[in-house]
Structure 1
Amino acid sequence: MVTPGIGRGLLDVVERRFLLRLIVRKELRVRYRGSVLGMAWSYVKPAIQFGVYFVALGVFLRMRDTVPDYAVYLFAGIVVMNFFGEGFGNATRSIIWNAPLINKIYLPRELFPVASLYVSAVHFFPQLVVLLVAALISGWRPTVAEVLAAVVGFLIVAMLALGLGLLFGAANVFFRDAENFVDLIVMVATWASPVLYTWGLVQAELPRWLWFVYQANPLTAAVELFHYAFWYGGTGRPALLPNGTAPIPDNLWAVGGGALVVSLVVLVVGQLVFRRLEGRFAQEL
């Protein structure tokens, strides 16, 4: 006998995979209802972002002179941050968006943040294909370590986005300001990670203790893992860049492992907070 209304968190999502697929299909239909471009928006937004940043930083600020294949370097970081930003933001808003369902029937509430992350992954993979093609054109021939780096980077971002989405999604039910904080976090995270610039420039300017704080950001590790996976091989794997800094941190795998642990901790904390508050969702909504 199981007490009604008490679930097992994310384990229930695994058992109800069919229901998860239904929610994902519903979200995709609602999102693109009446849209002319439909899934093509998965390409339009990152293309515009890439164009603006490449012209502003690559051309005007001459980043392409100091970073070989700067276009691939830039797009690898944009792909990571788009996945994180969309997954985190939509997971935060998912409970509010699905209030009619939550008020009518009981089903594992975690289904909604997970479905939002799933939709973000659906948008992520077309961008990844573009990144793969660009990397191959630039001369990229991956090694096993580089492929593994891409997998680890993806897991870091997915767990971090879901963990924060569960945490802020629960808070957003009670305080609508939470989703506004999410937008600020995503904006700051884009500039606080080596997406538009190289990590060596940061290391040269920050004091040692603040540099460790910078590296402790899981998104920093995820972006660098994607750079190592898709950009580094296409540059001929040089020891130094033209500006004299190393292209990839020497402790990349140690930082990546730490980021994986931090993301897992965030996921566990987010799940615990979500389960603690989910019993009041229907009442508050």
Structure 2
Amino acid sequence: MSAAAGLPLTTPGQGRGLLDVLDRRYLLRLIVRKELRVRYRGSVLGMAWTYVKPAIQFGVYFLALGVFLGQREAVPDYAVYLFSGIIVMNFFGEGFGNATRSILWNAPLVNKIYLPRELFPVASLWVSAVHFFPQFLVLLVAAVVAGWRPTPAELAAGVVGFVIVALLALGLGLLFGAVNVFYRDAENFVDLIVMVATWGSPVLYTWNLVHAALPEWLWRIYQANPLTAAVELFHYAFWYGGTGRPQSLPAGGAPLPPDLWTWAGIALVVSLVVVTVGQIVFRRLEGRFAQEL
């Protein structure tokens, strides 16, 4: 009797979704390395592009909003405040966008062999994290120069904010990545979502301006957006301590929204729900990926 005789039968091409990614970590690392090599093949600057884009973004926003519109006077250490939000949105935008396109980018592998298709969106998110951490180091240096002395709660806020963004980008990437195989318009929707999310989260302005302009019910919807909570958690982690933890801003508003940890918990739950929905849709559609590609 062969060694395989006692093993239970399984349906070919079906797996356990994201759990299979954990069992194939070595293969995941190979895909990540392949994506990094392909991305920078023939590039002169290589990984230096990780700094160029956020530097230009920061310069444009700081000049337009900080200098021309006076946010530099209204928000202490506005440069740290702005950059901490920018790197959050860059991580989300790159992770979400690349995960959406990951199945198409890896069409030859999808057509030739069976492997957990979730490997590709997860690998794209991993590549986005690789690009995130050099920007994060710049933020740390700027925060320390500004006088940053974090408390354990503030450090925990940064970790929770990162987890929220990673989960949200992965969940949306699974959902839109599966749909994008059948309808290429999904890529255009992703670009629109990222653009709206950047301006619809307190990256470039303070939450007080939104609270003053919206009715209470709409304000609560705004706060329930996981990206809003993630950005505010990064502000709490890397900006708030460098400003001396003031009770109010020079303009009269509070530096942090009320019930921040409550909204962070809601954001974490919403992100987990998005991952669950994305995984369900992805598994329902993945059986037709090869024939569509």
Counterpart of 2:5?
none
Determine the C-alpha separation between the residues in 1 that align with 2:245 and 2:212: 21
TM-score by length of 1: 1.00
- The SS at the match of 1:196 is coil
Counterpart residue type for residue 160 of structure 1: L
Counterpart of 2:234 (choices 205, 221, 226) is 226
Larger radius of gyration: 2
Determine the C-alpha separation between the residues in 2 that align with 1:228 and 1:48: 24
- The SS at the match of 2:11 is coil
Determine the C-alpha separation between the residues in 2 that align with 1:110 and 1:5: 13
Counterpart residue type for residue 197 of structure 1: Y
Shift of 1:50: 0.2
2:245 is the counterpart of 1:237: yes
Determine the C-alpha separation between the residues in 2 that align with 1:180 and 1:17: 31
- The SS at the match of 1:140 is coil
Counterpart of 2:44 (choices 32, 36, 46) is 36
Structure 2 unaligned residues grouped into runs of 5+:
1-8
Counterpart residue type for residue 51 of structure 1: G
Pairwise mapping of residues 131-150 of structure 1 onto structure 2 (< 5 A)? 131-150=139-158
Determine the C-alpha separation between the residues in 2 that align with 1:69 and 1:195: 14
Counterpart of 2:273?
265
Structure 1 unaligned residues grouped into runs of 5+:
none
Determine the C-alpha separation between the residues in 2 that align with 1:2 and 1:36: 48
Shift of 1:70: 0.1
Determine the C-alpha separation between the residues in 2 that align with 1:213 and 1:5: 40
Identity %: 82
Counterpart residue type for residue 39 of structure 1: M
Counterpart residue type for residue 182 of structure 1: V
- The SS at the match of 2:16 is coil
- The SS at the match of 1:237 is coil
Counterpart of 2:67?
59
Superposed CA RMSD: 0.4
Shift of 1:2: 2.3
Counterpart of 1:249 (choices 250, 257, 272) is 257
- The SS at the match of 1:241 is coil
Shift of 1:89: 0.1
Counterpart of 1:7 (choices 7, 15, 20) is 15
Counterpart of 2:172 (choices 154, 164, 172) is 164
Determine the C-alpha separation between the residues in 1 that align with 2:109 and 2:243: 51
- The SS at the match of 2:239 is helix
Counterpart residue type for residue 214 of structure 2: L
Shift of 1:249: 1.1
User: What CA deviation, in whole Å up to 9, does each residue of 1:98-157 have, x standing for no partner?
Assistant: 001100000000000000000000000000000000000000001000000000000000
Counterpart residue type for residue 245 of structure 1: G
Pairwise mapping of residues 176-255 of structure 1 onto structure 2 (< 5 A)? 176-255=184-263
- Any runs of at least 4 consecutive aligned residues in structure 1 with deviations exceeding 4 A, and if so which? none
Counterpart of 2:3?
none
| Number of aligned residues | 285
User: What CA deviation, in whole Å up to 9, does each residue of 1:46-78 have, x standing for no partner?
Assistant: 000000000000000010000000000000000
Counterpart of 1:20?
28
Determine the C-alpha separation between the residues in 2 that align with 1:4 and 1:190: 42
Counterpart of 1:123?
131
Determine the C-alpha separation between the residues in 1 that align with 2:171 and 2:205: 27
Shift of 1:3: 2.1
Counterpart of 1:92 (choices 84, 87, 100) is 100
